[in-house]
Structure 1
Amino acid sequence: MSTVADPPIPQLERAFEVDAELGPLEDHGRTGVGHRRIIPVVGGTITGEFEGELLAGGADWQVVRADGSIALDARYSARSADGELICITARGVRSGDPEVLEALLRGEDVDPSLYYFRTAIAIESSTRPELEHAIFVGSCIREANRVRYVAFRVT
């Protein structure tokens, strides 16, 4: 008779921080999938386990759901301090009371404890396989012209 062990309990380990500078919101209106908005990533920084700068050209492709919550699909590139390119994908959700979400849309500072903003982060890198072999989750803050988050490695 074999004994089956319980799987390890995941823990979170702080890995890196992202400060993404955003361009003006592009409102595409109602499409077949919902209310589409695209927010360009125009720059920013990564600090922590690896250092780098976010490159202009990425974007967050959002769908505003009927209940006001937002499904996020952000894809952008970074150049590490040693010159290597890294591709980052962050998918998640931002939700909260309608008044809070409207205040965020107006660019107001809102206490991050008043809304939920989390992402699942995947990284592609030709030189850092340890980043590709991990799952990261982000705890995010939306500010007027930026998104900041801490990425945690799920151990």
Structure 2
Amino acid sequence: MTPTSMTVPPVPSLTRCFDVVVHLGPIEDHGPTRVGHRRVVPISGGEITGDIEATVLPGGADWQVVRPDGTVELDARYSARTRGGGLVLIHAAGVRTGTPKTLQALLDGSEVAPDSYYFRTQITLECAHDPELERRLFIGSCLRTRDAVRYVAYRVD
């Protein structure tokens, strides 16, 4: 049987939507737990620009699990207030990995070339003021600096 347009799912495309800078507090290292090496990174603020214009609010965090090979599983949740006053809950789940030397340099706060490690997230949004945002998935291409995470969010179309 030959595939037809009715049997082949569409190939997704990506559309650049917004840029995010999330300012981070010091890592809270919880050490080995029943789920792995747990770290919590507080979120102290930031900015979102592009299709969403908002200020990241303090109080969120990234709950991380560090795998034995050094790869970091990320689970960041934080809120932002739009210029119009609406609230957006952002959930970014993903992975950051690289060579042991590169991962240690990132942990030490050293400047590391973004193309020397892999850092991607899946982003979902909750917001009462723009329900269309809740109906889409976004992919983030990220980089880590000493005290911030920066990413570009692409809508998966």
TM-score band w.r.t. shorter chain: over 0.9
The residue type equivalent to 2:152 in the other structure is V
User: Equivalent of 1:29, from 21, 28, 31?
Assistant: 31
| Equivalent position of 2:112 in the other structure | 110
The residue type equivalent to 2:154 in the other structure is F
Q: Within 5 Å, which residues of 2 pair with 1:56-71?
A: 56-71=58-73
The aligned length equals 154
Q: Which runs of 5+ in 1 are unaligned?
A: none
Q: Deviations over 1:28-50 (max 9, x none)?
A: 00000000000000000000001
Q: Secondary structure at the match of 1:53?
A: strand
Q: Which runs of 5+ in 2 are unaligned?
A: none
| Equivalent position of 1:40 in the other structure | 42
Provide the aligned C-alpha RMSD in A.
Answer: 1.1
Q: Secondary structure at the match of 2:103?
A: helix
Q: Within 5 Å, which residues of 2 pair with 1:1-155?
A: 4-155=6-157
Specify which structure has the higher proportion of strand.
1
Q: Deviations over 1:84-140 (max 9, x none)?
A: 110000000000000000000000010010000000000000011111010100000
User: 1:8 offset after TM fit, Å?
Assistant: 1.2
Provide TM-score, normalisation by structure 2: 0.96
The whole-number CA distance in structure 2 between the counterparts of 1:132 and 1:4 is: 27
User: 1:7 offset after TM fit, Å?
Assistant: 1.5
Structure 2 CA distance for partners of 1:30 and 1:127, relative to 1, 3 Å:
same
The whole-number CA distance in structure 1 between the counterparts of 2:109 and 2:6 is: 52
The whole-number CA distance in structure 2 between the counterparts of 1:77 and 1:22 is: 14
User: 1:4 offset after TM fit, Å?
Assistant: 2.8
The whole-number CA distance in structure 1 between the counterparts of 2:38 and 2:84 is: 36
Provide TM-score, normalisation by structure 1: 0.97
Q: Secondary structure at the match of 1:131?
A: helix
The whole-number CA distance in structure 2 between the counterparts of 1:137 and 1:30 is: 29
User: 1:3 offset after TM fit, Å?
Assistant: 7.1
The whole-number CA distance in structure 1 between the counterparts of 2:63 and 2:87 is: 21
Structure 2 CA distance for partners of 1:106 and 1:50, relative to 1, 3 Å:
same
